[in-house]
Amino acid sequence: MGGRQRALTVWRLSCVAVACLLTGAPVVPAAEPVLTDEQLQILSRAKTIYVDVAASTWMRRGRTLSDVGPALRTKLASAGFTVVRNQTDRHDLTLNVLYREEQGRQYRIDTYGTDITCVVQLEHAGIGPLLKLTIEESSTYPETGTPPYLEALQKFIANPYFYFLGDLVKGRVVSRLDTTGALIEGLQRLAEHEPMKSDPLKGEYLMSSDEVVFFASARENVIQELGRLKDPRAVPILTGLLGHSERRVRLLSVRALKSIAAVESRSVIERVAQQDGDREVRQAAAAALAGLPASSQMTCASPGPC
């Protein structure tokens, strides 16, 4: 990419970032365009993608430990896209990424936090912008003693909007899903094929080592995000996870279902409240039930008798 064109791309992404940051939300998807039937037909033929990453850091010598470009290419390849290496190679889609690491607050002498902002924009050559979002993470210097810079980087890798970015692009281009729908589909994928248990020799997963290492954290984060979004479409996958072997997954799923407050989850949550082997999970399930209407209070949407 020429210097003038790259500068224009960075400027456009910066404008998106500023608009998103003003809202104060940690992850801000922009309004997704409504496509015509003709545009959807064109989009269905989009198989190739070019990734253009502009990265900067406050770290000394301008060196970052992040591996954004290769990680994104792996995510997109895993989602079924052909990733081209050069902008001059023929491609249908372009993923523009503006990744910034900025110095955060000071914790002690010579110890500073790091604030990460990643602005992502997916474009089709003929249709235009398809997806825009901003991902933000900051170090908090946890009691574990993890260096603040590494903590911020780990949080960014496990952020559901970065971890599942391949699913988000696939959802927009292939499955015709909105951002939340694509997150649900990504969680379903993990539930069916946990990367820790997959056999790489069978080609079940094309994942970077970071994605495998932070798999559990990303799964927890996306469950919590679906609870925050309160989308009823997440109820089937969340109720399915109530039988997971890991208590943390069951606990977070119960809490997410409590936030969504979908009455169809009552029977499953009742069973968890009575039978789960973990006391905290049972208590969370009981608390979730308190916020749900009784099954007899469900309203009938049909004009005739229910």
Domain ranges for the chain, please list them. 3-229
Looking up tokens 């990303």 gives 218
- Measuring CA to CA, which residue among 259, 229, 257 is closest to residue 161? 229
Q: Which residues lie closer than 8 Å to 207 by C-beta, 6 or more apart?
A: 74, 78, 195
Coil, helix or strand for 14? helix
The 10 Å CB-count burial string (b at 16+, else e) for 119-135 is: bbbbbbeebeebbbbbb
User: Is 223 in contact with 256 (CB distance < 8 Å)?
Assistant: yes
This prediction has a pTM of 0.83
Checking phi first, is residue 3 left (phi over 0); if not, alpha (psi -120 to 50) or beta? alpha
| pLDDT per residue of the chain (306 residues) written in tens, 0 to 9 | 444 444 444 334 333 333 333 334 456 566 677 888 899 899 999 999 999 999 999 988 778 888 899 999 999 999 999 999 999 999 999 999 999 999 998 888 888 999 999 999 999 999 999 999 999 999 987 677 788 999 999 999 999 999 999 999 999 999 999 999 999 999 999 998 887 555 554 444 455 677 788 999 999 999 999 999 999 999 999 999 999 999 999 999 999 999 999 999 999 999 999 999 999 999 999 999 998 877 644 444 444 444
